[in-house]
């Protein structure tokens, strides 16, 4: 039996009072992933203030929307927007200021933002941004469910596909998995990669005998696992993340993730002196 470690998202606020559920881990226990935020509300007051201009350095973000929309602007001159089913990828690299402002639809706002660490050799790379629209993300169907392949290569019940983004960070991936009631789906994991499964709807078991995990649970499977069987009696929706650990030191303060405290001090200085650019509110 493959035993998963389980973490639970906690309610908090970020930006201009946006209500979210968050799991963060800057010790390397989820390496290469640093944070998983779930944004979910049908009350506009919970999220309409959005995320006004703020800086980042040293990692990537990928935001994926089930409902609602998000508009992006940054100090590199990038701007764009996506709606339900779309994603926004940003490499902060050497430093960027950006804003993310939600829009609504009839189902409110529901989505995720994941922070993916960058290796030391890429932390000071040039910032980059890309919108991934709904029709760019492939969907695959298989016995017991279906999946949307957002980034990297995935295989479910023997059916495989390449995502809209080749990889995240230094070789990580994301997929949305939907499991039908009373079905089991086998997820293939590349050698040396870590699999995370965040439950956002229904309930799931890593095996028939393991505890049932409800919405808000993040399952982290041991390195060396090559396949996981996910079973749901109720039907379930999961955000899956797969990545090869970087095994590098992590120094973190607020919106900056580097390898040393000296690099964090430099990031703060660069932001305060305008070296990361400007972005008006």
**Which DSSP string corresponds to 162-203?**
E-SBS-BTTTEEEEEEEE-TTEEEEEE--TT-EEEEEEEEEE
The architecture in CATH of the region 5-243 reads: Sandwich (2.60)
Q: Which residue's entry shows tokens 């965040």? A: 198
Distance CA 59, CA 125 (A): 10
Tokens of 19: 């209500």
Q: What share of the chain is helix, strand, coil (3-state, %, to 5)?
A: 5, 55, 40
What was the pLDDT predicted at 105? 76
CA-only gyration radius of the chain, Å:
18
Give 86-108 pLDDT, tens digit per residue: 999 999 999 999 999 998 777 88
Mean pLDDT of the chain: 94
Query: What is the 8-class DSSP label of residue 43?
Result: -
Residue 229 pairs in a beta bridge with 186
ω into 32 cis (within 30 of 0): yes
Regions in the chain scoring below 50 on pLDDT: 1
Evaluate if pTM is beyond 0.85. Answer: yes
What was the pLDDT predicted at 108? 87
CA-closest candidate to residue 170, choices 99, 244, 223, 234: 244
Containing 235, the helix (H) or strand (E) segment is none
CA dihedral in degrees (147, 150, 151, 155; nearest 10)? 10
What was the pLDDT predicted at 2? 63
Contact 36, 9 (CB under 8 A): yes
What was the pLDDT predicted at 154? 97
Distance CA 63, CA 115 (A): 9
């Amino acid at each position: 039996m493959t035993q998963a470690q389980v973490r639970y998202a906690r309610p908090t606020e970020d930006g201009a009072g946006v209500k979210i559920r968050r799991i963060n881990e800057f010790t390397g226990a989820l390496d290469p992933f640093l944070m998983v935020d779930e944004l979910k509300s049908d009350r506009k007051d919970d999220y309409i203030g959005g995320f006004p201009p703020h800086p980042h350095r040293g990692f990537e973000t990928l935001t994926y929307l089930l409902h609602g929309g998000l508009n992006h602007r940054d100090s590199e001159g990038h701007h764009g927007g996506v709606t339900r089913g779309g994603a926004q990828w940003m490499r902060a690299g050497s430093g960027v200021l950006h804003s993310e402002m939600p829009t609504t639809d009839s189902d409110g706002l529901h989505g995720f933002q994941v922070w993916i660490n960058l290796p030391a050799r890429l932390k000071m790379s040039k910032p980059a941004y890309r919108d991934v629209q709904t029709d760019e993300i492939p969907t695959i169907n298989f016995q017991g469910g279906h999946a949307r392949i957002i980034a990297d290569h995935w295989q479910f019940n023997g059916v495989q596909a390449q995502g809209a983004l080749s990889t995240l960070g230094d070789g990580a991936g994301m997929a949305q998995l939907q499991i039908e009631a009373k079905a089991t789906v086998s997820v293939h994991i590349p050698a040396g990669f870590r699999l995370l499964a965040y439950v956002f709807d229904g309930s799931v078991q890593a095996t028939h005998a393991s505890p049932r995990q409800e919405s808000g649970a993040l399952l982290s499977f041991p390195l060396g696992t090559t396949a996981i069987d996910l079973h749901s009696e109720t039907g379930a929706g999961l955000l899956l993340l797969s990545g090869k650990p970087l095994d590098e030191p992590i120094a973190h303060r607020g919106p900056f993730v580097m390898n040393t405290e000296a690099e964090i001090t430099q990031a703060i200085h660069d932001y305060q002196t305008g070296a990361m650019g400007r972005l008006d509110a």
